[in-house]
Every structure is written in structure tokens, then in C-alpha cells.
Amino acid sequence: MSFPADTQTVDTLIEARWIIPIEPANTVLDHHALVIHHQRIIDLLPIEQARIRYQPRTSHQLNQHVILPGLINLHTHAAMTLLRGYADDLPLMDWLKGHIWPAEKRHVSADFVRDGTRLACAEMLRGGITCFNDMYFFPTIAAETAIACGMRAMIGMIVIDIPTAYASDTIDYLNKGLFMRDHLGDEPLLNFAFAPHAPYTLDNHGFERLIALAEQLDVPIHMHLHETEDEITQSLAKYGQRPLARLHALGLTSPRLIAVHAIHLDNDEQHLLAEHGCHVAHCPASNLKLASGIAPIAGLSARHINIGLGTDGAASNNTLDMFDTMRLAALLAKGNTRAADTLPAHDVLAMATINGARALGLDHDIGSLRPGKLADVIAVDLSQPETQPCYHPATQLVYAANRHAVSHVWVNGKLLLDERRFTQLDEDVVRRDAHIWHDKLLAS
């Protein structure tokens, strides 16, 4: 193909049957192209115009695909992929105290986190997730693994009162988290949040110290909150307050807060989250599997609370599948309200992309396909029998497609998945290490 003399040379041109840019909302572009140069999106325009205006070093003709922003997993414990299926069909506290915490005490180490996070990155990339918000031990190892895999991550500086192989007490957790942030703060694929596990695993002094640091450093606070009724009962017995009221009195409620699960909220608590600009990470699969309950998503949405989607960890879900999460979120909201127009497909796609970016404070760079933003992009093939015929690509993504339809993934403009084949990860190594840990856990 020859190009006019005034064409601009660019890194990548992606031609697609459809593009869903997320912003503007409810938009589907037919026969458009996305132009990437120097890691960023520089244009979004009809294919014929793109062919005249740009000369790409690499081009992709995806004539039966929909292009959209990379999905953002707003809450997970990546390394816990190694505990997938280890303890199923149990209530949350039995699951934690009787199985997960003892297994972690025996096995969690830097090697465990490296191998588990790499397994998680492989699963997430293949399912169209380009950014994840993590909460787990040895976060420096998780951060370095995410970089090696080419993924974007918000790494949680975990804080709990319980001593572990990673840290001995609250001060040790905080110091190690802050050292990691200082050491890796210039990495372009990384951002950092404080990640206190839950209200019941950190005392008031710990929260006060953490809140002061979060304000000083201007970082998010990512934590489980109002996940179970038992959590609320215990808080009332110990503190004389429900967990959110206690945290509000300590000064935690602000636009920094990402409240994970947020299931058992009364009207006043929903209003409090809205009034203070807090965010919610909705994890419908683990909420159901652990029988924790169903989050009041319609009520939160009606109060204009920003809601993103998370898979939770593979130990409780048991997949890091955002397509499954999107579909489940939509269906639960409709069933819960008995209104079929609750949480329509475009809104669910926004929850999985721009809303997650907004909660992480990254919406200026990711979450939608706007010129100037970083090129975190995925392609989904809608040509297979299970997604035919396609009348509306947005609804097809939410209600019919699955993660196996993801064909291409770019992060920062770099192609990491090409026709479902990894360009950077060694899948054989990922699989081998998972088998090794399986045998270790079974033998313990």
C-alpha cells in the first residue's frame, strides 16, 4: 500500500467492526480505527480516513471484533490463584479461619506470591483485564511480577494487626509498604494504595496512623467493608458502632475510600458513602459463593456512588473473569429490583472500565478510549456461533460473550496477547509452577 506524502507515521493502527469508547457514554462506533503512538491513543476516526491520514508500523484488521478499553479489576488478591478450589462451599469466617488463614500461615512466601501473581496475570490478560487493584502479602513481589508480565496494577500496601511471614505488626506493615512505594514509585505501570484488610483486623490506632499517611501521600484506601452480617455484629459488640460509623468517626470516609463488597448497608450508610464521595468495588461472584449477600447496587447507583467491578480472589470466586462478573452484576441488579431496565449493558461496561479507573484515581489516563489516554485496549471477537447474530455489540459483550472471545490485549500500547497467544508470558512456566504449588498444598 502506498501512502500520501503528508501521512503521519504511527506505531499501531487498529481497524475494527465496532469500537465502544465508553466515553461518551452509550456510544458505539461502526467501522472505525484506533490510532496508537508512543503508548497513547492519538486518534479515533473512520477507517477510510485513518488509511489516508496515518502510516502505521503495525496494523490490525479486526473486521468481526469490538474494541474497548482494557477491563479494570477493582478488587482481587492475585496470588491467591494458588488457592483456587482449596476450600469451597463454606461461609466466609469458616473459610478464612478454618482453611485459608492456616494454609497461608504454612505456605505464603515471596515465591508463593511471585508464582501466584504470575498465574493471575496470565488469567487476567487472557480475559481482557489490563489493570488490577491488588491486596495481598509481599506486595513488592506482586508489583515486580506485574511489571514483568506487562500489566498495570494498583498495589496495596496491606495493613493488619495479625503477624505473618511478611510483617510482624502494624508499624512493620506500614514501613514495608512505604518502602515499596518509595522504591517502585517511578514505575509507569504501577500505582499504590493503602490496603487495610478489614475493620475487624485493624484497631483504631492503626487506622488513625494509616489515614494520616493516606492524606499526606494522597493515595487511595482499599478495604473490605460491610461484607457480612457477622462483621457488623462483632463491631457493635466491640466498639458499640457499626463498622462504617466507626470508620467515619475516625475520618476514613472520603473520595480516597474504595469500599469492597459493601453488601450490608442501610439507607443512612448508603447516603454517607455518597455524601463523602466514596467508591464501591462490587464483587458479585464471591458475594454469592460465600453466601455473604447481595449488594444494594441499584440504591448505590441511584445515589450516584461510583461503582466498579472486582472478581475478588480466585480462592473465593473461583475465577478472575470480568465477563462473568459483568453479566452477574447486571442480572443480580435486575432480579433484585424486579426491573429489567436496571443496570443496562452500557452502564455495566462503564463499571468494568471508567468507573474502576475513577475509583483508582487513574481516569485521566485509562478507562476509556479518548485521544490522549494511555493505550490499554482489548479486542473481542464476536464472530463465533455463540455470539451470532450481533444486533447490539454492547449487550452482546455483557450477556453473550465470554472471556475466551478476547483475542488481543494492549497495555501502554504494547501487544501482550495476539490471537490469544501471549507475547511476553511463558505459559508453560506458569502452568508448571501452579502444579508444583498444588502438590505442596496437598502434602501439608
What DSSP assignment string belongs to 109-176? SHHHHHHHHHHHHHHHHHTTEEEEEE--SSHHHHHHHHHHHT-EEEEEEEE-SS--SS-SSHHHHHHH
What is the structure's pLDDT at 91? Answer: 84
Q: Which amino acid is at 249?
A: A
Structural domains in the chain? 8-69+371-412 (2.30.40.10), 71-359 (3.20.20.140)
What is the structure's pLDDT at 141? Answer: 98
Q: Give the Cα separation of 420 and 402 in Å (integer).
A: 13
Q: Give the Cα separation of 20 and 44 in Å (integer).
A: 11
What is the structure's pLDDT at 20? Answer: 99
Under-70 pLDDT residues of the chain = 1-5
User: In the numeric block, which cell numbers belong to residue 65?
Assistant: 471484533
Which SS3 state, helix, strand or coil, does residue 39 take?
coil
- The enclosing H or E element of 76 equals strand 71-76
What is the structure's pLDDT at 93? Answer: 85
pTM: 0.97
Which SS3 state, helix, strand or coil, does residue 57 take?
strand
What is the structure's pLDDT at 3? Answer: 53
Q: Give the Cα separation of 165 and 275 in Å (integer).
A: 39
What is the structure's pLDDT at 1? Answer: 47
pLDDT tens for each residue of 232-286: 999 999 999 999 999 999 999 999 999 999 999 999 999 999 999 999 999 999 9
What is the structure's pLDDT at 5? Answer: 57
Half-sphere exposure for 71 (CA within 13 Å, toward CB): 30
